[in-house]
A and B are shown apart, each in its own frame.
Chain A
């Protein structure tokens, strides 16, 4: 029947398109793992770069990314969770709060390079921090803030309304109720959001391009006012601007693989945390 063959054809096309994506993703992973695997050894991750990055390891880039991530979370997590608690538990429907929501949506859509320009203008220049871990972390924190707020607010709203009523009826004040009867149950959702934020911060290049990143710093930073190397920036320079770019493919692939493992590892952690906490608090 005509209808049936047409249906089968459509079904087939849909399936093809979907699995084409799977194939492409699989191939990307395969390519990077296959080529980067050989570069992965203890030397690579623990030693400093030599010959302008053409040899040696990427230890300082790993450390730099780590510092940036820590700095980002230190700033954005309290602000993000605090903001989410306000929006979920205190805010009424008024103009000011709509403005806050608009701001969050706006921030979520700002291009990463514009964050870089912003960071340059305010942290590096205006506050005079210079290109530094401080400037980079603050910039990344601004970028990651919406992610944390949205994830945290969702986890707060998931707590059933009944808990709030019961708590208040027993004589708890609003903050007591939040602290003892809502936060404990939404914590894991917030941490999931934080991990997602970390993943983004670790992998972004554009915001740190103008605010912190250096390419060849064969020593570790001593203070938050120092510049650092970072994995994404390192990969970028190694692949596009290094004079020996053609010959150091293995270094590039190795860096890409480490970065990929880091980000995917974090994603996996977030997913596992989400499933584990779903099992723990059934309601």
Chain B
């Protein structure tokens, strides 16, 4: 029976190996948290976490260094909010068109464009934004520079749109035929059915999609680094230059002395980013699970 013995051992071994492979995801997540906190840690004692709540971010200064993440949070928030203002209507309306109205041939034509948009590397989009969009914004609003929160927001919406479109499309398509048919049988037009029955039914899926889109936008680095200007200030004006959390890390990490307070502060920004995107992800999953998106 040695063949059977060998088989049994192979089987057990493979199960262990495969389980190990699957566990690496858990390992990596734990390590990410671990190492981020490890590098950021000392800041808690000197100069203390309260410093992060300062109102200014001036990490390099002859006088008093300030490590307030406020301006950076506000920069991220402003850019994200503006981006969502554009993205959500555009994505949802496009998803409706693709899922409910476009003819099959049209769909085959449209979907590749969305996929292409999704594949364009962020640095290439940032480059495009720098050379084409920034001058446009500058001219359109008569500014001294086109590197503004608005420019960044527009680029970010280009990046979030494919994500939200595809998830919203899934949500719309999953709405059971029975609902749509019931509405039509009552005499509602196709469009009425879409806006009064299908869209509301797909809302949980769309909300989840938007949350994932927000997560994507908050976490984006290169595009905003290249086009939002470089001003770490607290502002609500879309036409002013801002600094996002992600851009700050990318821009300053290269020149910061390892282990310095500035270095640690940057890692704290990373932790904040991690926590925000993690929370968004969890809530999005909850929404999807609770309202049962049929996949």
Interface residues of A (CB under 8 A from B): 3, 7, 10-11, 13-15, 17-18, 20-22, 24-26, 28-29, 31-32, 78-87, 90-91, 97, 99-100, 103-118, 120-122, 125-126, 142, 145-146, 149, 173-176, 178, 199, 202-206, 209-210, 232-233, 235-236, 239-240, 249, 252, 256, 259-260, 263-264, 267, 271
Contacts and interface: CB of A to CB of B under 8 A. Distances in A.
B274 A199 contact: no
Contact of A21 (B21, B90, B212): B90
B170 interface: no
A11 B191 contact: yes
B278 A109 contact: yes
Interface in B36-75: 36, 38-39
Contacts, number: 247
A121 B274 CA distance: 15
B221 A235 contact: no
Given A32-B128, A118-B35, A206-B250, A175 B29 contact: no
B139 interface: no
6 contacts: A11-B101, A26-B113, A28-B128, A100-B23, A103-B29, A260-B121
A264 B118 CA distance: 10
A21 B29 CA distance: 36
A256 to B, nearest CB: 5
B11 A240 contact: no
A209 B31 contact: no
B120 interface: yes
Interface in B114-147: 114-117, 119-128, 130-132
Given A103-B25, A204-B122, 20 more contacts: A18-B93, A18-B94, A28-B120, A31-B132, A82-B20, A82-B22, A86-B19, A90-B19, A109-B277, A111-B219, A114-B274, A117-B253, A117-B270, A174-B11, A176-B7, A203-B120, A206-B221, A233-B123, A249-B131, A271-B115
Nearest to A29: B116
B35 A122 contact: yes
A205 B123 contact: yes
Nearest to B165: A21
Nearest to A123: B35
B222 A205 contact: yes
Contacts of A175: 7, 10-11, 14-15
B90 A111 contact: no
B97 interface: yes
Question: Which residue, A14, A18, A121, has most C-beta atoms of chain B within 10 A?
Answer: A18
A22 B120 CA distance: 14
Contact of B26 (A15, A100, A115): A100
A264 B116 contact: yes
Nearest 5 CB-CB pairs, A to B?
Answer: A111-B219, A82-B21, A203-B121, A121-B35, A83-B22
A110 B246 contact: no
A239 B124 CA distance: 10
Contacts of B267: 117, 121
A128 B95 CA distance: 48
A117 B249 contact: yes
Given A90-B15, A105-B285, A259-B124, A110 B274 contact: yes
Contacts of B278: 106, 109-110
Given A21-B113, A206-B250, A107 B29 contact: yes
A205 B97 CA distance: 34
A120 B254 CA distance: 11
